[in-house]
Amino acid sequence: MYSLFKPALFRINPEAAHDLTINSLQILGHCLGALKPMQGRACEVAGLRFANPIGLAAGLDKDAQAVSGLSRLGFGHLEVGTVTPRAQSGNPKPRVFRLEKDTALINRLGFNNAGIDALVARLTNQNYQGVIGVNIGKNKDTPNDAAYQDYVTCIKKAAPVADYISVNISSPNTPGLRDLAGANTILDVIKPVLEARSELKNRKGTYLPVFVKLAPDFGDADLKQVLEVLKVASIDAVILTNTTVSRDGLLSPHCEEAGGLSGAPLALRAEHCLKLAAETLEGSLPIVSVGGVMSGEDACRRLELGASLVQLYTGLIYRGPGLVKDAIRETRC
Ligand SMILES: Cc1cc2nc3c(=O)[nH]c(=O)nc-3n(C[C@H](O)[C@H](O)[C@H](O)COP(=O)(O)O)c2cc1C
């Protein structure tokens, strides 16, 4: 079915194609309602029950506009956001580029979103039975030394509509954001978030897990150090990885555009980070693997390498909704 729509979608610019898709999924959700996640290899991660290990990565539904429609694709969890305290328009367009020869995307959206209040309003009374993660960030004009306040504002507001919170300190498109994720700085954000969390409950009225999403562009020693810090920080899972600023081995026009690269060229790096995290964390924290998962076999391999959950984004653009079902089926074993 997707093979019928894909050529038309790929003829329009990527951001317009994205908006059209979200609007269509929103209408689908309004008309048909949410669907239960497809049953696959069920698992428990951070105290949450997942009907299958396959989820939607952050950034596709930044404002939680299409949760019901997206639920119909079968995902076990949907991560919405990144959302910031105040609405912001993001970087000037064009800011998303297809790299077709590389089965990849480059984006420099810059946390365009309608703000936390709009997201909470949309998720209030959402009856999706899968797990909902809300990915939180800081506004562009918030200086780094006050960034923790943006994260605390967002977690407090999002808690009643979220099953888990994901802290995004790894987007390459908000200047200086990644400086918050060094071994010496990461607790400046994470500690206040965890303090705020201690007084919060999630949308089911139970413990609110906090996941931390990291970039793929650390050197091995630095990534290990950050993971060692997180290991003892009372967070609940690590998400690896966000998009990369690396541009190795690309063939497509647009490959030199600024922004974060996602899709097939990120796979090796994401797998390397996963292996390193599995070694370092030794089972003390679950790992959510994301980056370049383009097939059911890719998803299966991530679980074999030590991931508890797997997320998809760019694979969906190139493979369509069939990828979700393939990944759920392949990971049943
Ligand atoms: C257009 C686009 C927008 C994204 N926006 C966000 C975002 O707002 N927050 C976030 O944590 N990750 C965001 N990401 C990163 C994805 O969640 C994911 O980590 C990354 O794309 C690697 O996975 P993939 O190769 O399957 O796409 C975005 C990715 C893309 C392609």
Ligand 1: which residue has its CA nearest to atom 19? Answer: 242
Please work out whether the CB of residue 62 comes within 6 Å of at least one atom of ligand 1: yes
The structure tokens 């030394």 sit at 145
pLDDT of 319 reads 97
**How many CB atoms lie under 10 A from the CB of residue 65?**
20
C-alpha of residue 82 to centroid of ligand 1, in Å: 9
Decide if pLDDT at 75 tops 80.
yes
Catalytic residue among 68, 71, 166, 171: 171
Q: Beta 104-107 vs 96-99: how paired, if at all? A: antiparallel
pLDDT of 244 reads 97
Residue ranges of domains in the chain: 2-330
Query: Is the peptide bond between 241 and the residue preceding it cis, with omega within 30 degrees of 0?
Result: yes
Decide if pLDDT at 72 tops 90.
yes
C-alpha of residue 58 to centroid of ligand 1, in Å: 6
pLDDT tens profile 187-244? 999 999 999 999 999 999 999 999 999 999 999 999 999 999 999 999 999 999 999 9
Selection from 112, 137, 70 nearest residue 313 by Cα? 70
The structure tokens 């991660």 sit at 45
Residue 302 pLDDT class (50, 70, 90 cuts): very high
pTM for the complete prediction?
A: 0.98
pLDDT tens profile 93-123? 999 999 999 999 999 999 999 999 999 999 9
Please work out whether the CB of residue 312 comes within 6 Å of at least one atom of ligand 1: yes
Please work out whether the CB of residue 212 comes within 6 Å of at least one atom of ligand 1: no
Please work out whether the CB of residue 292 comes within 6 Å of at least one atom of ligand 1: yes
Decide if pLDDT at 333 tops 90.
no
Residue 290 pLDDT class (50, 70, 90 cuts): very high
Instruction: Find out whether 277 and 223 touch, Cβ atoms under 8 Å.
Output: yes
Say what percent of the chain tops pLDDT 70.
Answer: 100
pLDDT of 175 reads 87
E strand or H helix at 45 = strand 43-45
C-alpha of residue 318 to centroid of ligand 1, in Å: 14
Q: Helix, strand or coil for residue 174? A: coil
Catalytic annotation present for 166: no
139 Cβ neighbours under 8 A, 6+ residues apart: 84, 85, 86, 88, 111, 150
C-alpha of residue 127 to centroid of ligand 1, in Å: 25
pLDDT tens profile 133-186? 999 999 999 999 999 999 999 999 999 999 999 999 999 999 888 888 899 999
Ligand 1: which residue has its CA nearest to atom 29? Answer: 59
pLDDT tens profile 19-64? 999 999 999 999 999 999 999 999 999 999 999 999 999 999 999 9
pLDDT of 21 reads 96
Instruction: Find out whether 169 and 212 touch, Cβ atoms under 8 Å.
Output: yes
Residue 3 pLDDT class (50, 70, 90 cuts): confident
CATH superfamily of 2-330: Aldolase class I (3.20.20.70)
| Ordered DSSP codes for 252-278 | STTTT-SSEEEEGGGHHHHHHHHHHHH
Ligand 1: which residue has its CA nearest to atom 5? Answer: 59
